Amino acid sequence: MAVEKVSRVLVAVHQKTRDQFLKKLQRLGVMHVTQTESATPDSRQVGSDSRRVIQAIETLTPRAKKKKGSGGRRLLSRKEYDELTESYNHDSTVERLGSLIREQAELESRVKAVEADVRRLEPWAGLAHAPVEMYGLKTVTVSFGGFTGNEDLEAARDALRDGPGAIEVVGQSGGEVRVFVAAIPESAEQVGRTLAQHHFEVVDLRNVKGRPRDVLAGLTRDAAVAEARLAAIAVELEELSSNLPGLKVAADALTNKEARQATAASLARTESVSLIHGWVRTRDLGRLDKLVTESGAAAMTEVEPAPGEEQPVALVNRPLFRPFEMVLELFSMPLPTELDPTWLIAPFFGVFFALCLTDAGYGVIVVVLTYVFMRKMGMNNKLLGIILIGAIITIPAGALVGGWFGDIPDRLGVGWLQVFKNKLMWFDPVKDPMKFFVISIALGYLQMITGIAFEIADCLRVRNYGDGLLGQLPWFVSLNALTARVVLAKSLPAWGSTALIILVLASVAAIVVFTQRSRPTALSQTLWFALLLAFLLYVGAKFHWLPAGFALAKWAFWTVFLGMFGHAVASLLRTRKFAPVPVAFGLAAAVALVLYFVGILPAWVPSLVGVLFFLLSPSNATVLAKFLWGGYALYGATGYIGVVLSYIRLMALGMCTGGVAVAINVIAWMLLPVPIVGIGAAIIVLIVGHTYNIAVNVLGAFVHSLRLQYVEFFPRFYAGGGERFVPFREANQFVSVK
């Protein structure tokens, strides 16, 4: 399917009505606006207002009560949307919210600081005096600290017994003993060293200006006041959450307004007119023209694109295929001259996703969850649309291999359930993995061949017959003929096998000769193709690949040989380039050919000398390099084997999903006999295990299916590099306007 046609347009609008026109153009949503080199950017900063409102929504949403209008997308009519946009004042709500959030942060910080001070002072609640007063004593030096245990405390007391210092226990916190130490000033350093030897850790209490118990009481009161205020703020924030519906409308309105401002800043303009350059889908030209006409102060004209300017690419697909446009959007949009492969990607992607997941029970769960998410996030969500389609296909795919949450039907032992599963089951991938292997390989081959066929069709569509018929068709024919010969070897009639081998040999000759081609050498390359094909048919007969009658192809070989000899001689006479070497080889070839026909020389001598003469003649001056590239391309056929084998990941992921599901069931059934808690533990294992398995394998199914498109499928035909058609339209994140 070709990409949609678009037209280059220029709309001139009066400066006084520009903003109003842009608003209507944005609502119409049909024009891809492009910036112009002569545009003068507006100095205004856009984006800050909408960010503030969106941040307010994100802040209030978790605090909102579950009630209508507080969550999800709200559906509004255009009239309701415009009225709310004009009447609702979001500034007061946002400012009040900001004030409350700042106050809340300050209070929470204060509460944490109070809690830290309480933890620090609680062990010292037994002090009868304020630490700051005790530090100020002139006759005694006081220090506070702790020992890690009573053993260190007693050892320190023994060391200071009858000495210059005394230790008094104040309290105990955990395993630490809190003490204060009094020493005469002259011996303070000696006492400090003695304490350090017994793991004494000093605690600085110089900032504690009252008795610790009094300070703790004050801290408790401060904490209570802060907690009460925090509770009041939480209530007020919950009340503010009732403004969420209005804030959501304001957020979308501001976002769209800022988009209009940014677009206006990019327009070329004079003192009286703004020029809007852009692209419109051809089918939407009438709608845009109607808008321009109704606006009065605007005019529209179609213009020719500038030299080298590429049009943006607009994709148009049926609703079933539309989600898979995301595959191209994540990679690269097609060029305007390319076909849109979305419809071709969709069936392969869906089947690959299903084979990776391969569990009907998982498919049912994913379908239900995805549909629920789409109801909340929008039915046009492309990612969820891809997962939904893949999950739907997973249900029959899983049923064919007997996957229903692993082997749950067999473990439950319910007769009718087992019969139902077995009737739908085609094969067990554990007992018969080769079927899964063959399915994966067959799908890989089918997608690869489809890509080549798609490229042939695209080349013929744009009349690039050389690439289509000489570049891609030989590969298509050779791969299919060779595959059919291998797969159907035992059931093919003799004539069918012969026809397939001839097709393979003809395709090989075409690949070698025509991989690189040009008009000046067209006749030469055609003769080379006929010569090589006749030679391959003769060799095929000699090796018994073809019936013995094809040995007569040697006469076709000599006929073409003589034609090429005449063509080479004619090119020498036409160009008058009688270089000694080509002339010598030409004479030698003529003599060798005569001697071969009279039975003196073997066939390879005139063939070799003649080929060298042909390559040295002016008409074949560049064909040797082309043949070398053709031979290299033929060697690249081994890459197709790697491409097909890459699809084995479908089998690997599918069997991994089933294997992990069965393992989860085994663990759950092992827990069932455990007394009292067995059933509950088994249910938890089943729920948690299968939930994890679904999440991991849905992600794996999506990523690996995506990889197969990008790495294996797209190189067959897809160039990409186009610019996406993005119409200037309203972006409603929080509300839907009908």
Which tokens sit at 122? 């609680």
pLDDT reading at 666 higher than 90? yes
Taking the C-alpha atoms of residue 132 and residue 447, their distance in angstroms, rounded to an integer, is: 84
Pick the more confident residue, 49 or 73: 49
Per-position DSSP letters for 581-649, written without gaps between them = HHHHHHHHHHHHHHHHHTTSS-THHHHHHHHHHHHHSGGGTTHHHHHHHHHHHHHTTHHHHHHHHTTHH
Number of H helices, E strands in the chain: 28, 11
Helical ranges in 433-521 per DSSP H: 433-461, 465, 473-487, 494-514
Within a 13 Å sphere around the CA of 708, how many CA atoms are in the beta-carbon half?
30
Length of the chain: 738
CA distance 336 to 309: 11
**For the ranges 171-175, 231-235, 623-627, 694-698, which has the lowest average pLDDT?**
171-175
**pLDDT reading at 330 higher than 70:** yes
Mean pLDDT, range 114-136, rounded to an integer: 85
Query: What does residue 281 show for φ and ψ, rounded to 5 degrees?
Result: -55, 135
CA separation for the pair 444, 121 (Å, rounded): 72
Residue 405 CA neighbour count, 13 Å, CB half = 21
13: pLDDT strictly greater than 60:
yes
Task: Name which residue leads in pLDDT, 621 or 214.
Answer: 214
Which pLDDT belongs to residue 203?
87
Q: What is the pLDDT of residue 79?
A: 85
Poorest-pLDDT segment among 179-188, 531-540, 669-678:
179-188
Interatomic CA distance for residues 599 and 367, integer angstroms: 79
Of 9, 17, 28, the C-alpha closest to 295 is: 17
Which pLDDT score is estimated for 341? 92
From first CA to last CA, the distance across the chain in angstroms is: 30
Residue-level pLDDT at 582: 79
Strand pairing report for 176-183 and 165-173: antiparallel
The rounded percent of the chain whose pLDDT value lies above 90 is 37
* Residue 156: partners with Cβ closer than 8 Å, 6 or more residues away: 147, 167, 194, 195, 198, 200
Picking from 322, 293, 396, the residue whose alpha carbon sits closest to that of residue 353 is: 396
- Residue 59 has which token pair? 């802040």
Sheet holding 201-203, edge to edge: 165-173, 176-183, 141-147, 201-203
Distance between CA 601 and CA 603 in Å, rounded? 7
Contact between 339 and 457 (Cβ < 8 Å): yes
**8-state DSSP, 274:** E
Query: What pLDDT score does 62 carry?
Result: 86
* Structural element, H or E, at residue 394: helix 382-400
Q: Is 524 helix (H, G, I), strand (E, B) or coil?
A: helix
Which H helix or E strand runs over 507? helix 494-514
Per-residue pLDDT, 1: 62
Q: Which helix (H) or strand (E) holds 251?
A: helix 244-265
Q: Looking at residue 70, what is its pLDDT?
A: 47
Structure-block tokens of residue 261: 């401002």
Helical spans, DSSP H, in 35-185: 48-60, 78-87, 90-121, 131-135, 150-160
Q: Over 90: is that where the pLDDT of 393 sits?
A: yes
**Taking 60 as the threshold, does the pLDDT of residue 67 lie above it?**
no
Question: Would you say 707 and 293 are in contact if contact means Cβ atoms under 8 Å apart?
Answer: no
Interval 512-524 mean pLDDT: 83
Structure-token pair, residue 652: 């690997």
527 Cβ neighbours under 8 A, 6+ residues apart: 560, 563, 564, 567
88, HSE (Cβ side, Cα atoms, 13 Å): 23
Which residues make beta-bridge pairs with 590?
none
Q: Tell the residue number behind the tokens 């839907």, with chain if given.
A: 736
Q: CA 325 to CA 32: how far, in whole Å?
A: 18
500 with 483: CB under 8 angstroms? no
Nearest Cα neighbor of 109 from 220, 221, 230 is: 230
pLDDT score at 279? 93
What are the tens digits of pLDDT across the range 536-580? 999 999 888 898 888 888 889 999 989 888 888 888 888 777 788
Domains assigned to the chain: 129-210 (3.30.70.2750), 322-435+646-716 (no CATH), 520-530+547-621 (no CATH)
Phi–psi pair at 9, nearest 5 degrees: -130, 160
234 token code pair: 């939480």
* Euclidean distance between CA atoms 665 and 659, whole angstroms: 10
The residue-averaged pLDDT of 110-139 equals 86
What does the buried/exposed string (b/e) look like for 409-428 if buried means 16 or more CB atoms within 10 Å of the residue's CB?
bbeeeeeeeeeebeeebeee
One-letter amino acid for residue 345 of the chain: I
Q: How far is CA 94 from CA 58, 107, 355, in A?
A: 12, 20, 50
User: In whole angstroms, what is the distance from residue 564 CA to residue 558 CA?
Assistant: 10
Chain mean pLDDT for the chain: 87
**Residues 633, 511: contact at Cβ < 8 Å?**
yes
> What is the rounded CA–CA span in Å between residue 697 and residue 714?
24
Q: Work out the widest C-alpha separation in the chain, in whole angstroms.
A: 136
3-state secondary structure of 736: strand
Instruction: Annotate 26-49 with three-state secondary structure.
Output: HHHCCEEEECCCCCCCCCCCCCHH
Lowest mean pLDDT among 196-200, 210-214, 577-581: 577-581
Looking at residue 724, the DSSP 8-state letter turns out to be: B
Distance from C-alpha of 336 to C-alpha of 738, rounded to nearest angstrom:
32
* Model confidence pLDDT, tens digit, residues 470-494: 989 999 999 999 999 988 888 888 8
Helix (H) or strand (E) holding 279: strand 273-281
